[in-house]
A = this chain, B = another copy of it.
Amino acid sequence: MKIIILGGVAAGAKAAAKARRMLPDAEINLYTDDTHISYSSCGLPYYIEGNFEDYRQLLVRSPEEFEEKNIHVHLRNKATKILPHYKQVLIEDFDNNRAFLTDYDKLIIATGARPFIPNIKNLDLKNIFTLRKIEDGINIKNQVLKSKNAVIIGGGYIGLELVEALVRQNLKVTLLEHGTHIMKRFDEDMSELILKQLTECANDRFEILTSEIVTEFSGDNNGVKSVKTLSGKDIPADLVIIASGVRPNSEIACESGIEVGETGAIKVNERMQTNFEDIYACGDCCEDRMIVTGKMSWIPLGSTANKEGRTAAINVSGGNDIFKGVLGSAVTRCLSLTMSMTGLTVREAENSGYNPVFVTVTKYDKVGFMPDANNITLKLVADKTTGLLLGCQAVGAGDADKRVNVVTSALLARMSARDFYNNDITYAPPYSPTIDPLLNAAQILASKTEEST
């Protein structure tokens, strides 16, 4: 049994390890164009921030550890063509300057995603970066230590995590978002709350500007000097990070006849199988079924990649495992602010044909007399007709993600607001108020739906 895995960050590395455990005698080869495998891409902002000094802490397992398990890891070996009918892959080996074909019985595509680069003049100036791979992190960190003024382009979660990282490294930071709102997966009212709360804690250390389209970088041989926007701003910068979202690395699939969905990512069934029986895909390169709506979506995330890699490996190894999908759960920190969500926003619920009702509450996360009590704002969404819970957004200095995670199980189980609001979540003053804000919101929400008692 010959298993080939393309890509090795989260899904690919997990799939390799799991396949080895299930099939001790299989031949497993992992090819990646990267120079590292099995690392925490999500940890890069915290490395830049200085939470730890050695980038090797980001590595989960080294290539040597894989080799010890008889998994052959080929770094800087990029797959450029899949030949499903011959069950072969074309590999380009950069270091040895050669190309070769290799056979598989089962193929797992885990090629991940890459940063999207907007069309901006003078992109090739020095000290302009994206953040995805270990090298990106190392290069940015080196530059951070020499820089004073940073511009971050993009107000999504990576952009905001980088605001925290660079502020903690004492840079003056300007974040430019081309849209009208940052953290656009949230409803607009919640995005506005995020911007307001971040602005309140900025203290001249950083600035977040929306509706600013970057048109041009200016600089010289020493690197970037400033960032120009369509509105006429010219912001000094000796470090620029482009965090304008990511795109799936699905071209190799597409070009080889493997179906790609409307999202641009590879289509898979619940077994993580593509339209070819022996070809599986997992991680950021493939689509995810959104459990709440049943529709395919693309929400690349390390935790999902691990789950999908495991399912793909089990099925490749002759087992039968199902990955039911995702809830769109996410959490991000920027300085003291936690932003977290699961399921559908009101906007997404409307777009999916629901008749959403919602409740927004702002309350302490602990009993008010506890010295570390902080506010959280919770927005809980349900379908008016059925009462079905659809999603939760939570923002604040308080313990927001705890509440969102109580909702994840409820979404998975398709509970209504009425089923949910007397949920016996744990209570003690250091952990929550007597009536938790989540249950308070659910109680009011239940009264807004047409579900009968």
Which residues on A are within 8 Å of B, measured CB to CB?
10, 40, 42-43, 46-47, 51-52, 57-58, 157, 161, 291, 301-304, 306-307, 320-333, 338, 340, 342, 367-371, 399, 401-402, 404-410, 412-413, 415, 419-420, 422-432, 434-436, 453
B412 to A420, Cβ gap below 8 A?
yes
What residues of chain B lie closer than 8 Å to A407, measured between beta carbons? 409
What residues of chain B lie closer than 8 Å to A435, measured between beta carbons? 303, 306
Report the separation of the CA atoms of residues A402 and B157 in the bound assembly, to the nearest whole angstrom: 22
A434 to B42, Cβ gap below 8 A?
yes
State which of B51, B58, B405 has its C-beta within 8 Å of the C-beta of A425.
B405
What residues of chain B lie closer than 8 Å to A453, measured between beta carbons? 320-322
State which of B406, B422, B431, B432 has its C-beta within 8 Å of the C-beta of A406.
B406
State which of B328, B370, B405 has its C-beta within 8 Å of the C-beta of A402.
B405
Q: Specify how many copies of this chain sit in the oligomer.
A: 2
A236 vs chain B, min Cβ distance (A): 30
What residues of chain B lie closer than 8 Å to A420, measured between beta carbons? 409, 412
CB nearest to A394 among chain B residues: B426
CB nearest to A308 among chain B residues: B422
User: A405-B406, A409-B409, A413-B415 are known contacts. Are A40 and B434 too (CB-CB below 8 A)?
Assistant: yes
B327 to A427, Cβ gap below 8 A?
no
11 more A-B contacts (CB under 8 A) besides A323-B422, A410-B412, A412-B420?
Answer: A40-B369, A303-B424, A327-B423, A329-B426, A331-B426, A333-B431, A405-B405, A408-B425, A412-B419, A412-B424, A413-B415
